[in-house]
Amino acid sequence: MAVGSGALYTNSNGSSNVAIGRMALRMNNDRSNIVAVGDSALFNNSIGAVYDPVDGIVEGFSNTAVGSKALYANTRGTGNTALGFRALYNVVNGDRCTGIGEFALGNTTGDGNTGVGAGSLSTNTSGTNNTAVGYQAGPNAATRTNTTALGYQASATSSDQVRLGNSAVTTIVGAVAFTSTSDARYKRNIEENVHGLDFIMKLRPVTYNFDVHKMAAFLNEDMGMDAQGNRVYRAPTPEMVAAREQKEAIRYTGLLAQEVEAAAKRVGYDFSAVTVPEDEDGMYGLAYSEFVVPLVKAVQEQQAQIEQQQQLIEQLRKEVEALKQR
């Protein structure tokens, strides 16, 4: 079914297609099971798409686009869903991506991405299996993989990362503590080589303030989209400025990741609590909960020293008592 000037214009063999809107599915020829609603939605679908009889791969089918120019550039991508103005606009041959919201999901070739919210995953081009929920949420680089970003301007800074909220967030709340997977059945190469006092004594506890404005600039939180979908600077709202300043006023207690990394290296400790950036767009981080393990080791070492000293003290006490009785 075609409704609108130029809709399904070149279709010859495709079946079970629905095109509603000017130029919707215009270039589709023989691909089937496609829905396009909106001006130029899925305009280029099936251009250059092929069928590989060896692998049984069919390209450019089972796409759904609702919104002006949604999935506009798609030629070979399969199983994509776009809902919103220019949603998935740049996808050429990405598969099984879902973009909901204006300018959602900017990828061209990445597969398995899901963006919900205006501008979500807009920086992604070839990264795969990313999930972003929230206005302008998504990874901060074009090729990140397996990231999850939840919340307004949430920005994952490395692959295989989950990010909650933007730089102005001050608390993450839950009824119970976060639980890390720790099942002995799925651990191997187990060694008792944790460093204790030698590592802990090299750490420098500090207090500090976050430079939230600097962090926000690094994460491109103030980059928005113009009417054509280009990324442009947009001044933060007064409410966002106030939120950042409120966080900058908080005095935090902690450690500096680079110093922890250096301390671990000095004692030959491969300490997993330090997150090292994978490229110049990444950020250092610390998993403070993992400090429990070397602290436990340090307490054990101290207790051994205390017990040894207690034995020495008891021995000396007995010697003194013996001298007194002479």
User: Which pTM does this prediction carry?
Assistant: 0.83
Q: Identify the segments of the chain with pLDDT beneath 70.
A: 1-2, 7-10, 12-13, 15-16, 27, 29-31, 46-59
Is 295 exposed, middle or buried, given 0-12, 13-18 or 19+ CB atoms closer than 10 A? middle
Q: What is the pLDDT of residue 46?
A: 60
- Cα separation, 94 vs 212, whole angstroms: 35
SS3 217: helix
Q: What is the pLDDT of residue 74?
A: 82
At residue 246, φ and ψ (nearest 5 deg) are -65, -40
Q: What is the pLDDT of residue 183?
A: 96
Q: Tokens for 13, please give them.
A: 């063999």
- Cα separation, 7 vs 74, whole angstroms: 16
Q: pLDDT tens for residues 149-178?
A: 999 999 999 999 999 999 999 999 999 999
Q: Tokens for 12, please give them.
A: 């010859």
In 3D, which of 80, 76, 153, 166 has the Cα closest to residue 121? 153
Q: pLDDT tens for residues 277-295?
A: 999 999 999 999 999 999 9
Secondary structure of 132-155 in HEC code, one letter for each residue? EECCCCCCCCCCCCCCEEECCCCC
